[in-house]
């Protein structure tokens, strides 16, 4: 399985949490995903939050006895406010938390703020390595 999540409050988002909770019923008498390989990809407004999300998903899946083959966290520079969407004017979202009030006034919106994980060769290599690990694990079965 390849599990992906965006990051809210430095952990996995609610949809991923709900999905993983639904797997709980599968562990009553036996573990049908025992030994099955999985990997996690997470993206958020800070690398630390993405790393935390990978670890949170990993902990849940390992409790179900699935086999962790790797994870890739990506800290993006894109962080609009998910509540109001105002970005530069919002004093609650990630922009404000990162740059502060003075930083927001000086911050210029440009294409450089809107990067994708594909634009980072290090992340691309990590994703390719993760795919290789998953493929190798599947080839062993």
Q: Is 124 helix (H, G, I), strand (E, B) or coil?
A: helix
Task: Classify residue 9: in a domain, yes or no.
Answer: yes
Q: What is the CATH number of the domain that holds 9?
A: 3.40.50.360
pLDDT of residue 48: 81
Task: Classify residue 55: in a domain, yes or no.
Answer: yes
Task: Give the predicted TM-score (pTM) of the model.
Answer: 0.75
Nearest-10 Cα torsion for 131, 70, 80, 100: -140
Give pLDDT tens digits along the chain (141 positions). Answer: 999 998 888 899 999 999 999 888 776 677 888 899 999 999 887 778 899 999 999 999 999 999 999 999 998 766 656 566 555 667 776 667 777 878 777 777 666 666 677 888 999 999 999 999 988 988 865
Q: Classify residue 95 as left (phi > 0), alpha (psi -120 to 50) or beta.
A: alpha
Select from 11, 55, 3 the least CA-distant residue to 33: 3
Structural domain of residue 66, as residue ranges?
A: 2-76
Task: Classify residue 102: in a domain, yes or no.
Answer: no
Task: Classify residue 112: in a domain, yes or no.
Answer: no
* Distance between CA atoms of residues 130 and 128, nearest Å: 5
Number of domains in the chain: 1
């Amino acid at each position: 399985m390849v599990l992906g999540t965006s990051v809210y409050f430095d952990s996995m988002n609610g949809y991923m949490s709900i999905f993983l909770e639904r797997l709980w019923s599968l562990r009553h008498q036996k573990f049908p995903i025992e030994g099955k390989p999985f990997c996690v990809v997470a993206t958020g407004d800070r690398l630390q939050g993405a790393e935390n999300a990978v670890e949170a998903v990993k902990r849940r899946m390992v409790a179900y006895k699935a086999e962790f083959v790797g994870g890739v966290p990506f800290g993006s520079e894109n962080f609009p406010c998910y509540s109001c969407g105002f970005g530069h004017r919002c004093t609650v979202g990630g922009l404000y938390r990162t740059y502060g009030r003075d930083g927001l006034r000086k911050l210029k919106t440009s294409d450089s703020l809107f990067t994708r994980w594909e634009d980072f060769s290090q992340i691309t290599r990590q994703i390719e390595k993760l795919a290789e690990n998953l493929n190798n694990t599947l080839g062993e079965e």
